[in-house]
Amino acid sequence: MLENLKAATFEVFEGMFFLFPEPPLLEQPVFRGMGVRAWVPVSGPRSFCVGLTVPQSLARKMAANFLGLTPSDLTPEQVQDAVQEGANMVAGSFLARERASAAFHLQPPQSRLVDLGSPHFRLSLNHLLLLVEDDGLEVFVEKL
Amino acid sequence: MPYNVLIVDDSATMRALIRKVLAISGFKLGQCFEGANGREGLAILEQHWVDVVLSDIHMPEMDGTAFITALKEHPLWQTIPVVVVSTESREEVLAPFRRLGVAGYIRKPFRPETIRRQLSTLLGEAGTPDAGELEGCDF
């Protein structure tokens, strides 16, 4: 499953965001400051979600590359929406790679800002950790 | 002749990307309308002439299935070509859209030229240098 998640992530980041994740590191990438967590609920025989957690710096790179804008021209809504769309594409690619039946339905993506430095912040238990340039990228699948 | 395009997608960022791709790709773009869901798409069709529709599937309020069904049942709109642009690539999910008469499918993530090629072929501009190959188009 994680191999399919990884392949889906690489496809989306390289193809739509022109960013190149590196394979998982032995050491956990650094997540600090504010960030964006976006996820796509999947309903069906089992309910789960597929999502991304990224620091703001990576979120801004994603949005800038996606829209062809300079980071200073981006609105906070565009930044959050770009991460949501990234999660949406990763989820779609992941389900196809898993050969999930049509009984599994992708729901509209959701997102929220998160404080990555907060003691209350927890990375998901079932995830991939990648590095994109100097930023951490978490890709996760969680039960709902 | 410039073509009017309607983009229906709940992501404003995705709509902006598609609009930008259309604008810079050499596609003869007239007016470009945007709706955040099927309901908004139908409201735009009530008001404006549209030559081709690009629609997402998964949207709140009115999803792509309901939107395209309504469009295909409407006497004036049923001949407008519809291209589904979606993260979905599962055959079981896409088959009902084919039965509805959808003209094409573009999977996200896509390459910018895929959109222009699809539209050029659908709208009869197949004479462009690289319009022969429908990369990423499953229909």
Contact B87 A108 (CB under 8 A): no
Contact A16 B109 (CB under 8 A): yes
Q: What is the CATH number of the domain that holds A36?
A: 3.40.1550.10
- Retrieve residue A80's tokens: 């959050």
From the candidate CATH numbers 3.30.9.10, 3.40.50.2300, 3.20.20.120, 3.30.450.80, the one assigned to the domain spanning B3-122: 3.40.50.2300
CB proximity B109 to A under 8 Å = yes
Please give the tally of structural domains in chain A: 1
For chain A, strand residue ranges (E) read 34-43, 48-55, 105-106, 110-115, 127-132, 135-143
CA A96 and chain centroid, separation:
17
Whether this model's ipTM surpasses 0.85 comes out as no
Q: Please list the pLDDT of chain A residue by residue as tens digits (144 residues).
A: 888 999 999 999 999 999 999 886 666 667 889 999 999 999 999 999 999 999 999 999 999 999 989 988 999 999 999 999 999 999 999 999 998 888 898 988 999 999 998 877 777 778 888 999 888 999 999 988
Q: Is pLDDT of B134 > 60?
A: no
Which residues from A are below 8 Å from B64, CB to CB? none
Which residues from B are below 8 Å from A102, CB to CB? 90, 92-93
Burial B53-88 (b: 16+ CB within 10 A, else e): bbbbbbbeebbbbebbebbeeeeebeebbbbbbbbb
Contact B12 A78 (CB under 8 A): yes
Q: What is the pLDDT of residues A1-42, one digit of tens each?
A: 888 999 999 999 999 999 999 886 666 667 889 999 999 999
Q: Which domain holds residue A21?
A: 2-143
DSSP category for residue A108: P
Classify burial at A64, counting beta carbons within 10 Å of its beta carbon; exposed 0-12, middle 13-18, buried 19 or more: buried
Q: Which residue of A has its CA nearest to B36?
A: A108
Burial A104-122 (b: 16+ CB within 10 A, else e): bbbbbbebeebebeeeeee
A115: three-class secondary structure by DSSP: strand
Which residues from A are below 8 Å from B112, CB to CB? none
CB proximity B78 to A under 8 Å = no
Residue type, position A48, single letter: F
